[in-house]
Homo-oligomer: A and B are copies of this chain.
Amino acid sequence: MSDKFFDYIIHGGDYNPDQWIDTPEIWDEDMRLMNLAHVNSATVGIFSWSMLEPEEGIYNFEWLDELLDKLHENGKDVILATPSGARPLWLAQKYPEVLRVEESGIRNEYGVRHNHCLTSPIYREKVQNINRRLAERYKNHPAVKMWHISNEYCGECHCELCQEAFREWLKKEYKTLDNLNFKWWNGFWSHQVSDWSQINSPKFRGENHVPAMKLAWKRFVTDSHISFFENEIVPLREITPDIPITTNFMKMYDGINYQKFAKHLDLISWDNYPAWDKGRNVAEAYETAFVHDTFRSMKDGQPFFMMESTPSLVNWHDVNKLPKPRRQELSSIQAVAHGADSVQYFQWRKSRGGHEKFHGAVVDHCGHENTRVFKEVAKLGRNLEKISDVVGKRTNSKVAIIYDWENKWATGYFCGYNNLERDYYKECTKWYAPFWKNGIAVDVISMDDDFSKYDLIIAPFLYMLKDGVDKKIEDYVYNGGKFISTFLTGIVDKDDLCHLGGFPCGNLKEVFGIWAEETDSLPKGVENAVEFNEHYYKAINFCDIIHAENAEVLAHYKSDFYYDTPAVTKNNYGKGTAYYVAFCDKGRFSKEFIEEIIKEYDIKADTEIKADSGVSIRKRGNVIFIMNFSDGVAKVTLDREYLDIVNGTSVSGEVTINECGYLVLE
Contact = CB atoms under 8 A, between A and B. Distances in A.
Interface in A335-387: 350-359, 364-367, 371-373
A497 interface: yes
A506 to B, nearest CB: 12
Of the candidates A113, A313, A357, A500, the one having the most CB atoms from chain B within 10 angstroms of its own CB is A357
A203 B210 CA distance: 29
A449 to B, nearest CB: 27
Contact of A207 (B102, B111, B352, B515): B111
Contact of A187 (B19, B324, B421): B19
A350 B209 CA distance: 16
Contacts of A526: 279, 321
A417 interface: yes
Contact of A110 (B18, B109, B200, B417): B200
Interface in A468-519: 495-503, 515, 517-519
A182 interface: yes
A65 interface: no
A518 B321 contact: no
A550 interface: no
A272 to B, nearest CB: 19
B415 A198 contact: no
Contacts of A206: 108-111
A313 B186 CA distance: 23
Contact of A365 (B21, B85, B194, B502): B502
Contact of A192 (B89, B112, B520): B89
Contacts of A312: 518
A352 B520 contact: no
Interface stretch (A32-40, A48-56, A291-299, A580-588): A48-56
A49 B188 CA distance: 11
Contacts of A186: 50
Residue from A48, A190, A523 with most neighbouring chain B CB atoms (10 Å) = A190
A503 B16 CA distance: 23
Contacts of A353: 183-185, 188, 211-212, 495-498
A189 B93 contact: no
A396 interface: no
A243 interface: no
Given A106-B205, A209-B112, A502-B365, A198 B315 contact: no
B315 A415 contact: yes
A301 interface: no
A569 B451 CA distance: 63
Interface in A437-454: none
Interface in A315-341: 315-322, 324-325
A240 interface: no
Contacts of A198: 89-90, 93, 110
Contact of A191 (B50, B109, B367): B50
Given A50-B191, A90-B195, A112 B415 contact: no
A86 B367 CA distance: 53
B21 A197 contact: no
A87 interface: yes
A214 to B, nearest CB: 11
Interface string A234-272: 000000000000000000000000000000000000000
A208 interface: yes
A207 B109 contact: yes
Contacts of A502: 365-367
B212 A520 contact: no
Interface residues of A, number: 116
A576 interface: no
A416 interface: yes
B318 A194 contact: no
A355 B419 contact: no
Given A187-B19, A193-B89, A365-B503, A520 B357 contact: no
Nearest to A542: B319
A83 interface: yes
A354 B320 contact: no
A464 to B, nearest CB: 13
Contact of A203 (B21, B51, B111, B113): B111
Contacts of A324: 560-561
Contacts of A521: 313, 319-322
A600 interface: no
Interface in A278-318: 278-279, 312-313, 315-318
A111 to B, nearest CB: 4
A93 B350 CA distance: 52
A47 interface: yes
A505 B53 CA distance: 35
Interface string A8-50: 0000000010110110000000000000000000000001111
Question: Which of A21, A102, A110, A197 gathers most chain B CB within 10 Å?
Answer: A110
A352 B191 contact: no
A402 to B, nearest CB: 22
Nearest to A502: B366
A358 B209 CA distance: 13
A185 B499 contact: no
Contacts of A320: 416-419, 521
Given A185-B351, A185-B354, 16 more contacts: A18-B187, A51-B187, A51-B192, A89-B193, A89-B195, A93-B198, A109-B203, A210-B354, A316-B419, A322-B545, A324-B560, A353-B497, A353-B498, A359-B416, A371-B517, A371-B518
4 tightest A-B CB contacts, nearest first: A358-B416, A185-B353, A109-B206, A315-B416
11 contacts: A109-B203, A109-B206, A185-B353, A315-B416, A316-B415, A325-B561, A355-B415, A357-B416, A365-B498, A371-B518, A372-B517
